[in-house]
């Protein structure tokens, strides 16, 4: 039997965080699940903490504890409620976990004396991780939410890994959630979003955009 070719959807934010990427991710996952697909969400946080239990709750939010005891981002509570399933700690990736794995492998000599770099060693680690989650879950589709925004320095290497995964598999979609500011009622400014929307990965047909605004007049 040929190996299942899991598809990936990457959810990114721009302009500012806290716009609801977790709700977007959960909603897309639920719609796909309702169509009969086996879906699994992954959340990446660029912080160098190994798990969310040691992150600042004021800045990052409260911790959600999975059934296996892993302390994760509170978006996992939304994922589990929408999908009505328990998730494993492997679905939570942090910058700290990634760098810890890289250092442990380097100390064990697994890189055979090579100069360990962000590319290819760190990006390969990321891509192997997300592919393994999909394989272990027998997922048709893996949704990957990238915490923060595309402009955050700590997210750069992860987004690069997603770009490489797209070139390798060519079965990915990218979703962008952005904010449309309003200077006054009915006067919305779209130029702040243009720079990020011009990125090739966010262009149709592989890219999809959701825009949020506080304006009562809508978009």
pLDDT tens track for 1-47:
556 789 999 999 887 777 889 999 999 999 999 999 999 999 999 99
Q: Which of 161, 71, 86, 89 is nearest to 122 (CA)?
A: 161
The predicted pLDDT at position 152 comes to 87
Query: CA-to-CA distance for 174 and 163, rounded, in angstroms?
Result: 10
Output DSSP code: residue 185. T
What residue ranges do the domains of the chain occupy?
A: 7-212
Structure tokens at 200: 């090739």
The CATH architecture that domain 7-212 belongs to is: 3-Layer(aba) Sandwich (3.40)
pLDDT tens track for 65-105:
999 999 999 999 999 999 999 999 999 999 999 999 999 99
Query: CA-to-CA distance for 119 and 192, rounded, in angstroms?
Result: 30
Output DSSP code: residue 3. P
Structure tokens at 192: 């702040």
């Amino acid at each position: 039997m040929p190996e299942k070719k899991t598809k990936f959807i990457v959810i990114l934010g721009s302009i500012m965080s806290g716009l609801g990427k977790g709700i977007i991710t959960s909603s897309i996952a639920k719609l796909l699940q309702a169509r009969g697909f086996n879906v699994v969400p992954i959340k990446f946080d660029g912080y160098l903490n190994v798990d969310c239990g040691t992150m600042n709750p004021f800045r990052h939010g409260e911790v959600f504890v999975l059934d296996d005891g892993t302390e994760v981002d509170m978006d996992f509570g939304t994922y589990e409620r929408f999908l009505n399933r328990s998730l494993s700690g492997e679905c939570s990736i942090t910058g700290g976990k990634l760098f810890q794995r890289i250092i442990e492998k380097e100390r064990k000599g697994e890189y055979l004396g090579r100069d360990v770099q962000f590319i290819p060693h760190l990006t390969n680690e990321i891509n192997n991780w997300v592919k393994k989650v999909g394989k272990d879950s027998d997922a048709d589709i893996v949704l990957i939410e990238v915490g923060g925004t595309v402009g955050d320095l700590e997210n750069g290497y992860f987004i690069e890994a997603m770009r490489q995964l797209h070139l390798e598999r060519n079965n990915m979609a990218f979703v962008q959630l952005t904010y449309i500011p309003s200077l006054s009622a009915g006067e919305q400014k779209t130029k702040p979003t243009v720079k990020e929307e011009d990125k090739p990965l966010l262009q149709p047909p592989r890219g999809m955009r959701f825009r949020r605004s506080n304006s009562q007049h809508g978009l």
